[in-house]
Amino acid sequence: MPSAAAQRLDDARERAQLGVQDLRTRLARLDDDAIDLILRGARSHYAWTDCPVPRALLERLYAIVAAGPTSMNCCPARFVFVTSPEGKERLAKALKPKNVAKMTAAPVTVIVAHDLEFWQHLPFLFPHEDRRPFFDGKPAHAAETAFRNATLQGAYLIIAARALGLDVGPMSGFTNAVVDEEFFAGTTLRSNFLCNLGYADETALFQKLPRFAFDEVCSFA
């Protein structure tokens, strides 16, 4: 007879499997309009209306992002939602001049960062077995894992924001070291990229830029 812990694990696995089967029964795929909204027809934006983004919507956004996959469920991303004039002023110190106006006009600018010591939380996030020895005393491996998986989570943020009706404007024209000193001094957090969130002023858009065709960048092995 299985132990109580083993039975709980078996029950949890069964619920997970039934949940996925139920979802696929209800919705096998997104329709073309939904795909256009999150990727094909979506654009990165550079100008913004003054329509605010409420905290409740940001909390809903994070709940969706948190559901996205990361290796060993390590969830290394950390998000700083910069909304106050004081926060924007601090962030502006790191930006290239042409990006300052884009950032200050957006209702929210997210600093997408990662925690170099994410692995300390693995007993909670990955309770099946203790995976901390994979990273303890191996800072290069920890940093690489944190950066890769937090970058994935930043991409989930972009797609989830669009799915919720928000517009996005990812930015990399800034100095990471300045952001880290201003916002993360004395911590194990490091910045990756920035993403403006809000409701766009579409009059600033230009034509959609080209993309590679399948045969130009895809291959089989």
Domain count across the chain: 1
42, 190 Cβ separation under 8 angstroms: no
Question: Does the residue 175 lie in any domain?
Answer: yes
Q: What is the pLDDT of residues 89-109, one digit of tens each?
A: 999 999 999 999 999 999 999
| pLDDT value, residue 10 | 83
| pLDDT value, residue 128 | 85
Question: Does the residue 181 lie in any domain?
Answer: yes
Q: DSSP H helical segments within the chain, as ranges? A: 4-26, 32-35, 55-66, 85-92, 97-105, 122-125, 139-163, 176-183, 214-217
Specify the pTM: 0.93
Question: Does the residue 19 lie in any domain?
Answer: no
CA geometry: angle 13, 17, 19, nearest 5 deg: 115
Instruction: Indicate which CATH number applies to the domain containing 198.
Output: 3.40.109.10
71 forms bridges with which residues in the sheet?
none
Q: What is the pLDDT of residues 15-41, one digit of tens each?
A: 989 989 999 999 999 999 999 999 999
Residue 200: alpha-carbon gap to chain centroid:
20
Question: Does the residue 16 lie in any domain?
Answer: no
110 forms bridges with which residues in the sheet?
81, 195
- The domain in which residue 177 lies consists of 44-204
Q: What is the pLDDT of residues 122-135, one digit of tens each?
A: 999 999 899 999 99
Q: What is the pLDDT of residues 66-90, one digit of tens each?
A: 999 999 999 999 999 999 999 999 9
| pLDDT value, residue 1 | 66
